[in-house]
Structure 1
């Protein structure tokens, strides 16, 4: 029987010993060990956004981001997988027959996901989905792939009633896809973010979710802007990684000797760098959480999430990324030669954090999109 803790905020601390013990295996195997995935699943780490009737926490976005940050402090790859696997909210979008296919066995499903677009062609009973999805974190340990697809009809993109491209979420079994061993990278090794190929896979209609109509579950968590449940998670993870880098650098500085013989912690330069970095990181964290709280308040009062609120969330994500990048570089530099050695915590945090910051959700152009909204101009992005 799956065991679930009463408070999702407690999950990272409870799993810390298991995560620490698996660190070497993650690096060597370029994936999360199966045992750790089972422990994460059984703790409830993958059901933060899953509806209550399916065994989920149905947690507020602010709480979910705090959990991701907590995992990021322990291990970037684990935080990344927990974020990418939390697609249980699809259960609020699917009808009951679809949920019966995914959750009906009683076993907790493990998802991998990708927001890149494949193409889907309607057929009898559902759709034929094809596509190439890059960087699908955790796919080797997943039972299901939640993939976005653009519906095509007669060789052209099908439009919805609102006149926009018809994009839907498709749930595919693990045996319907091929995984390419492409995850040969410098950091975030344990995330197993390989590429995925799907060729003309039949997806029954009950496993296809629309995002342009109200969710079947009418509770507030699922009546807001659905992409907001996914987008900011990566930024919360990197905030946790950057905080861990500060913590490790402080510990290093208490014993590391400088060229003049004193401890690094006694250096005025080191003191100022730590203080500035921690202040900037705390401010970025508070900004991201406050925008998430605004989303929670809006859906809780049945108010529509505004374009301005979405722009504020995007700007907070970009700000968190920029600050985290600056902090990681500052800690790496402050550690001097100690930071370059394998086995040094800052060395791995720097690699992992910088790879996580390469995600398209952290691209500088998203600041521009948020700024366009402030000027009353369309953000110019399909998902914003």
Structure 2
């Protein structure tokens, strides 16, 4: 499927990276069944992604990364996800987290992390299931901590973990997060990722017991006004929570939906309809309608994503805070886009006959992966639509990310109504 409004908006380097991702799609598709059966991405595939430079999309240039724009990141990750959902999800998570780390951590901390020969890859969990943390001299002692859904952790060098758990975040209304950088050597990966969806993402739980984290590796997102003097990448720093919403959820979902439409269209001329005289789906009117509807849903999803990125870039360039309505719209654009993508794949699944239920069928794999991806906390449509409806009707937001971002951008704790 053609990518809307991207050709003239990518730099030469970004286009090269997008082309590399596109070249990998047939290669990744060959690993679909293996990845699901073995519940992890083979090291051979990880190395191929690394060699193409696709784990460095969000890494700062001064540390050997590409530091691509947010629009380019969405497009490149989307292309990877067309090859395989689990691979796309891991590439999305690592790059989104690398970008978040670059915005969140002080230069000295980044210097100490990137002062190695290995490729730095962050996984993250932004809400602890359980965190027993004590402030001690020089840092924090994590006596016990559990973080669920650590996507990409098997291929990460570091974890970016919120030291606040569900209860404390809800009680404080998520005004701030305490993000800690923890080397994966200090983290236990719990093998509990047994799912129907995104099996190869190995989004296992992460566990820490009696680990000391120095002060300099713990960053608290504080509220405050927008500093006009920020330059370069730092201009994006106050918008970090909103950028997380864009970079760590929707890209892989968009790519899965694009891949589903392409796969169905490729097969339709050569596939009949059981128990009918039709020898080609492509010649049947109601199939043509469904394909057209599915394609329009995916393209409409991309338009919502593009609108969000345009709004973000405008606010960054003008050093403007988001209004509460704009924040709610940004979040809802992502969740609504995910819903449109899921609906597109569901339409095609319904017209694919009995063979589509086979685990090895590529559309079946896409169907399972996009269903799980669309249930992510940042892409659940019902949560986003509730948020937008509440704000439109003058009610305070119920979404913790909205509350936290509003506090940071508006410089007033809790002033979100």
Q: Does the Cα contact within 8 Å between 1:252 and 1:335 map onto a contact in 2? A: no
Tell me the equivalent position of 2:211.
201
Tell me the equivalent position of 1:257.
272
1:23 CA drift (Å): 3.0
Q: Distance in 1 between matches of 2:59 and 2:189?
A: 26
1:274 CA drift (Å): 0.5
Tell me the equivalent position of 1:269.
286
1:278 CA drift (Å): 0.7
Tell me the equivalent position of 1:143.
157
1:217 CA drift (Å): 7.2
Q: Distance in 2 between matches of 1:164 and 1:25?
A: 40
- 1:66-96 CA distance string (max 9 Å, x none): 1222122221111110111122231333223
Tell me if 1:239 matches 2:239: no
1:197 CA drift (Å): 1.1
1:165 CA drift (Å): 4.9
Classify 1:250/1:166 alpha carbon distance in 2 versus 1 (closer, same or farther; 3 Å): closer
Q: Distance in 1 between matches of 2:296 and 2:174?
A: 43
Q: Does the Cα contact within 8 Å between 1:62 and 1:296 map onto a contact in 2? A: no
- 1:26-50 CA distance string (max 9 Å, x none): 2232111223223323433223223
Tell me the equivalent position of 2:374.
357
Where do 5+ consecutive residues of structure 2 fail to align? 1-11, 403-417
**Segment drifting more, 357-366 vs 133-142:** 357-366
- 1:336-361 CA distance string (max 9 Å, x none): 11211232211111111112122122
Q: Does the Cα contact within 8 Å between 2:104 and 2:240 map onto a contact in 1? A: no
Q: Distance in 2 between matches of 1:242 and 1:20?
A: 15
- 1:100-156 CA distance string (max 9 Å, x none): 3310113221111112235343221111234211111121221111111229xxxx8
Secondary structure of the equivalent of 1:318? Answer: helix
Q: Distance in 1 between matches of 2:64 and 2:196?
A: 37
Tell me the equivalent position of 2:339.
322
Tell me if 1:105 matches 2:99: no
Q: Does the Cα contact within 8 Å between 1:50 and 1:57 map onto a contact in 2? A: yes
Q: Distance in 2 between matches of 1:67 and 1:376?
A: 38
Report the TM-score, using the length of structure 2 for normalisation. Answer: 0.82
Classify 1:335/1:67 alpha carbon distance in 2 versus 1 (closer, same or farther; 3 Å): same
Higher helix share: 2
Tell me the equivalent position of 1:94.
105
Equivalent runs, 1:1-384 vs 2, <5 Å: 6-7=13-14, 8-86=17-95, 87-89=97-99, 90-117=101-128, 119=131, 120-129=133-142, 130-150=144-164, 165-212=175-222, 218-220=231-233, 221-233=235-247, 234-258=249-273, 259-262=275-278, 263-363=280-380, 364-384=382-402
Q: Distance in 2 between matches of 1:48 and 1:116?
A: 24
1:98 CA drift (Å): 1.6
Higher strand share: 1
**Segment drifting more, 174-183 vs 109-118:** 109-118
Secondary structure of the equivalent of 2:163? Answer: strand
1:174 CA drift (Å): 0.9
Give the RMSD, CA atoms, in angstroms: 2.7
Q: Does the Cα contact within 8 Å between 2:302 and 2:337 map onto a contact in 1? A: yes
- 1:310-348 CA distance string (max 9 Å, x none): 211111112112212211211111001121123221111
